[in-house]
Structure 1
């Protein structure tokens, strides 16, 4: 395994800026970016189709592991709202000898809502109450010191 292999986990809610930050990272350190929303949109699929999303993310993860095995950078922007989900990705990448980095985007619920309304890409449209509920959940899943120290770097 090359010392340059690196997994970057971009974590955040809809409207938090995951894609914007991931695209910037992709330019700064050439890598492969994995965004299920883009694949699902290209397939003409409903972004809220959980079964299809899981399959797309599974395919993306298999490809991300190939990128890591080849010594590249894989940038995963799935949301990864829960600590358990982030830890599974981190542990599997670390087992391959890859460095792991976490970018956790913590954006206030009102800002998320404004961004979601402005872009208008969710179909079906999200409700403000949904955003508030997701925000409350992710606040309970903020990276704690143990999680932060497990990653090689927190961006």
Structure 2
């Protein structure tokens, strides 16, 4: 019998609204038999507006607590929070590694015109996202570069 503790896997899916984070996270969860954690669905289930930043922070903290438990018993966890800042991704990676988990990063880079088309088509935010919001968010987003990707475990060929 193997006495080593099971090794979990954390997959961080980062990207702007409309980039396909939920779709990608669902595909990974199915393929890896993992647990997907994203705040939007929890907020909607609780009847909370997606614009409530304080509630989003609280839900993400709760989800991260659950994720750490799942990782510690060898489960695959897929986080789809957007993780726009490198510091957010670094914190998740380092904490997961402390638990002995492997960590992979998926960056969804979609042009603004396509993001805008998708956001309008899904129409899930109330009040709706404005094009000016998207443009501002693009300027705030810190896309991962090759040096950052080198800090993560390689993703298997799909």
Pair in the same fold by TM > 0.5: yes
The match for 1:134 is 137
Structure 1 position 2 matched with structure 2 position 2? no
- Gaps spanning 5+ residues in structure 1: where? none
Structure 1 position 107 matched with structure 2 position 110? yes
Aligned counterpart in structure 1 of residue 123 of structure 2, from 110, 120, 124: 120
Q: Is the 8 A contact 1:148 1:154 kept in 2?
A: no
Question: TM-score, normalised on structure 1?
Answer: 0.95
Match of 1:153, SS state, is: coil
Query: Matched residues in 2 for 1:105 and 1:49: separation?
Result: 24
The match for 1:149 is 150
Q: How does 1:17-28 map to 2 (within 5 A)?
A: 17-28=20-31
- Alpha-carbon shift at residue 154 of structure 1 (Å): 5.1
- Gaps spanning 5+ residues in structure 2: where? none
Q: Is the 8 A contact 1:31 1:73 kept in 2?
A: yes
The match for 2:76 is 73
Larger Rg, first or second structure (1 or 2): 2
The match for 2:53 is 50
Map Cα deviations across residues 1-36 of structure 1 (whole Å, 9 max, x no partner): 313x10000001110000000000011010110010
Deviating beyond 6 angstroms after TM superposition, the runs of 4 or more aligned structure 1 residues are none
Query: Matched residues in 2 for 1:154 and 1:15: separation?
Result: 23
Root-mean-square deviation (CA, aligned residues, Å) is 1.1
Question: TM-score, normalised on structure 2?
Answer: 0.93
